[in-house]
A and B are shown apart, each in its own frame.
Chain A
Amino acid sequence: MSAAPQRAKAGAEKIEVIVSAVLPLNDLVTRFEFKRKDGNRFPTFSAGAHTVVHMRDGDRQRLNPYSLMSDPADTETYAISVRRDDEGRGGSLFMHNNVKVGDAMEITYPVNLFSLDLRAKKHVFLAGGIGITPFMAMIAQLERSSDSWELHYSVRTEALGTYVDQLVSKYPNKVRIYYDDQSQSINLENLLDGQPLGTNVYVCGPKGMIDWVHKTAAAAGWPDANVHSEEFTAPQPGKEFQVRLCRSEKTITVGENESLLEAMEREGVDAPFLCRGGACGQCETNVVSSDGEFIHRDHWLEPDEHGNKIMPCVSRFIGKSLEIDR
């Protein structure tokens, strides 16, 4: 993964948008469409990119990353599909319950941590549930360039099969749906066997699915470079802890239900970030001193960095004292 660009201010540049459509797709998933407030066109994005949506929830600011799932060539409208998570930290619930057509919001410029390898001779997509979203954009991009692809999409039930009808009717020979409640599952070993040289596999779904794909592909002799995955980790709640920010000369308390990054932002500290899900590396922060235990939840740091670095977007700390270089 390459380093994200260094910027003067935290996060990717923002775009002011108006919510142009709110379309419930099923019991759990709703699509939100945005147009630019200034009437201009959006930048084109590369399929697989996400945007961080800024939500103003009372006096609390929520920032959640969502994959852009609209056609990357459509610069009139950006669309995301949000799965409601009743047990989550509230961002998706806020989107579902509070966001209405005509609302003004801010989203960031697209950032891509899950891009297509366009040297590939063929692209095989493996989606689990709401993991379908980046593939919607990838499929649109590859259809335009007439590249070879196929999608294997695992959903819980027919009723919860987001975009299943659309995909199956448009691409009947390229899409296969697997229904959990009918005990159907992707036969991965079989699927990987015999793929042409230069095939790339992409997986987006629950962590277990991602690990399973990496492991099975490696055992079948697939190079790591041909297996791509994206997983955003939502910050998990945890015990309250104190942290000294030595550059800002502040000592702050990270509450039970907020991340270290969110606590710094609440205190007005301009901390860098891009994905807010432990994947991009942008918020990496040096630990100056610590007496206690880290709870590392990111996909970025190497194990040997765990003592002297922390990713404030998803990771926490339990112990006596923590001082970080921010």
Chain B
Amino acid sequence: MSKFQFPESIKSRPVYGTLKARPGKYHLMIADAEGAEAILHLHEQDAGLMAKAHIIYIPKGSNLGERLRAIRPAQYYEGPTYEAAASRIERVLEATHMGTQIYLTGTEGLMGQAMRACMNAGIPHTAIQTEHRGSVARRMQCVHCKGITEDVETDPFECSHCGLNLFVRDHYSRRLAAFQGVCIDAEDPGNVPEKVELYK
């Protein structure tokens, strides 16, 4: 099972739901890794959806792409990274109209970035469906150097840009599509707690 129950946290922390088929003229589904399972589940709910669906999928090492292809969405794209897919997502959003339903599923980093792209295109975040699947790794912003570190799995971690030891906060920025990482040993340099795997 690729689902994970996040513990309750501060208001800033995004919460995710379960994807449901909704009425719409066009269905844009963006997923990575085990997010494919949520789309397969959506297809089980309403097989008619796929005739008007565009799936953008980033496998991240999983082998679920073939199964997504097999449910025959109107359009299917598979790319190596979110960055590689980003220009396509932007282009799709530019051309789409009101009545489009958005479904985001997979890791938090993927959902956050895709949601930001949708919001910039004029879709209210309250109208975007999300479902978390797979890794609980996070996309983190170093609040000191502003560099982004993808797929952070431990707390604390080292900023991949400036090397500071960063504490993983639940404080989230929708604009940056990232959680905030704050220096953990600023007052006593070198006094860094042992790394713990997130949610372990």
Contacts and interface: CB of A to CB of B under 8 A. Distances in A.
Given A194-B97, A195-B98, A197-B98, A223 B126 contact: yes
Interface in B119-136: 121-124, 126-127
A295 interface: no
Interface in A38-77: none
Interface in A159-206: 192-199
B97 A195 contact: yes
Contacts of A221: 22-25, 98-101
B96 interface: yes
A121 to B, nearest CB: 5
Given A197-B123, A198-B123, A225-B124, A218 B23 contact: yes
Contacts of B23: 218-221
B40 interface: no
Contacts of A193: 25, 97, 99
Contacts of A226: 98, 124, 127
B64 interface: no
A119 B122 contact: yes
A29 B81 CA distance: 61
B124 A197 contact: no
B138 to A, nearest CB: 27
A300 interface: no
A224 to B, nearest CB: 8
Interface of A is mostly: loop
A209 interface: no
Contact of A220 (B25, B122, B124): B25
Contacts of B126: 223, 225
B137 interface: no
A214 to B, nearest CB: 13
A198 B100 contact: no
Interface in A215-239: 218-226
Nearest to B118: A197
Interface string B79-94: 0000000000000010
Contacts of B122: 119-121, 196-199
Kindly name the residue among A119, A120, A192, A196 whose own CB sees the greatest number of chain B CB atoms within 10 A: A196
Nearest to B101: A221
Interface string B22-34: 1111000000000
Given A221-B99, A222-B99, A223-B126, A198 B121 contact: yes
Contacts of A225: 124, 126-127
Contacts of A199: 98, 122
Nearest to A117: B124
A198 B121 CA distance: 7
A142 B92 CA distance: 28
B77 to A, nearest CB: 19
10 contacts: A196-B97, A196-B122, A197-B93, A197-B97, A197-B123, A220-B99, A221-B101, A225-B127, A226-B98, A226-B124
Interface of B: 22-25, 93, 96-101, 121-124, 126-127
Shortest Cβ-Cβ A-B pairs, 6 listed: A198-B122, A221-B24, A223-B127, A221-B99, A225-B124, A195-B98
